Amino acid sequence: MKKGYWVITYRSIADESALKAYGALALPALESFGGRFLTRSMSQVQAHEAGLQQRTILVEFDDYEIALAARKSEAYQQALQALGSGVERDFRIVEGA
């Protein structure tokens, strides 16, 4: 099985309190699927070439299908509701090599 990864970059944060509420719900939701945070919101980012200095989150799952299921889960959907329109982000689920 190939691992699955969530790659999330935050382009802008309009509502810090919504982001905190999201984090409080998202963390246990993802951990219940075995998600492991490889980076956190306070990790340093060294951007190169066309890269942007943005908050970046990387979450690893044991397999790609689990990563997809975690995104669709009811618990994660509740976290998204708490986030609302408080941020603009780029969110991808990718399969490991």
Q: Give the C-alpha distances (Å, rounded to integers) separating 60 from 26, 50, 57.
A: 14, 25, 10
Rounded Cα distance, 7 and 89, in Å: 10
Q: Find out if CATH 3.30.70.100 is the number for domain 4-95.
A: yes
- Give residue 96's pLDDT: 97
Query: Could you tell me the residue ranges of all domains in the chain?
Result: 4-95
What is the separation of C-alpha 94 from the centre of its chain, rounded to a whole number of angstroms? 12
Q: Per residue of the chain (97 residues), give pLDDT as tens.
A: 899 999 999 999 999 999 999 999 999 999 999 999 999 876 788 889 988 888 899 999 999 999 999 999 999 999 999 999 999 999 999 999 9
Rounded Cα distance, 90 and 33, in Å: 21
CA torsion 26-77-6-83 (nearest 10°) is -60
Strands (E), the chain: 4-13, 36-37, 55-61, 87-95
Contact 7, 79 (CB under 8 A): no
Coil, strand, or helix at residue 41? coil
- Give residue 46's pLDDT: 86
- Give residue 9's pLDDT: 93
